[in-house]
Amino acid sequence: MKAKTKRYWLFKSEPSGFSIEDLKACPNKTEPWDGVRNYQARNFLRDDIQVGDGVLFYHSRIPEPAVVGACIVTKSGYPDTTAFDPKAKHYDPKSDSSAPRWFLVDVKLKKIFKRVVTLNEIKESAGLETMVVAQKGSRLSIQPVTEAEWKIIHDLAGDAIK
């Protein structure tokens, strides 16, 4: 039996909206990652992200943006129904249940890092300079991460990978 290749990702969130502590407080520490309204990010969510993939949880729009923990994907791409709800923050009248435009995955918290890895550190660390999040003007909220980058981030966080 051929094992599926595990992939790695980085998900951005503003902690004022949804933080890693909020995820920890969710039932089973699991929550649908809703509200993504960017086509490139949507394509990753719909087509590429699989159950078991690793996710780095990143806090943006704070004085020291940083990777703050790790999650695992527990459900792969399915329609983001918050787009159908006129009262929802990310309502999109152009998306409906017959032709959903936006997708999401479920993520489950694995660990909150005792030591966060800041954006500055990422930019200065050998092997991480090419991370998407370190690039100038990088706004993509769902980003691919290489296995090497995943490992280095965990090393910097003081969390050895089992």
Partner DNA sequence: GCCAACGTTGGC
Instruction: Kindly indicate which of the ranges 59-67, 69-77, 80-88, 154-162 contains the residues binding DNA, using the contact rule CB under 7 A.
Output: 59-67
Binding mask 116-145 for DNA (x = CB under 7 A): ---xx------------x-xxxxxxx----
Distance of closest approach, residue 65 Cβ to DNA, in angstroms: 4
Interface with DNA in residues 61-80 (CB under 7 A): 61-63, 65
CA distance 103 to 11: 14
- Judged by beta carbon, residue 120 or residue 130, the one nearer DNA is 120
Burial class (CB in 10 A: 0-12, 13-18, 19+), 162: exposed
Radius of gyration for the chain, computed over Cα atoms and rounded to the nearest angstrom: 16
Question: Residue 12, interface with DNA (CB under 7 A)?
Answer: yes
- Judged by beta carbon, residue 99 or residue 160, the one nearer DNA is 99
What is each CA distance from 152 to 33, 57, 92, 95, 125, in whole angstroms?
25, 15, 38, 39, 9
- Judged by beta carbon, residue 21 or residue 138, the one nearer DNA is 138
Strands (E), the chain: 8-13, 30-32, 54-59, 66-79, 103-118, 142-145
Identify the bridge partners of residue 117 per DSSP, sorted by sequence position: 67
Interface with DNA in residues 90-119 (CB under 7 A): 94, 119
- Judged by beta carbon, residue 27 or residue 63, the one nearer DNA is 63
Distance of closest approach, residue 133 Cβ to DNA, in angstroms: 7
Q: Which residue has the tokens 């998306």?
A: 95
41: three-class secondary structure by DSSP: helix
Instruction: Kindly indicate which of the ranges 35-43, 47-55, 71-79, 154-162 contains the residues binding DNA, using the contact rule CB under 7 A.
Output: 35-43
Binding residues for DNA (CB under 7 A): 12, 14, 37-40, 60-63, 65, 94, 119-120, 133, 135-141
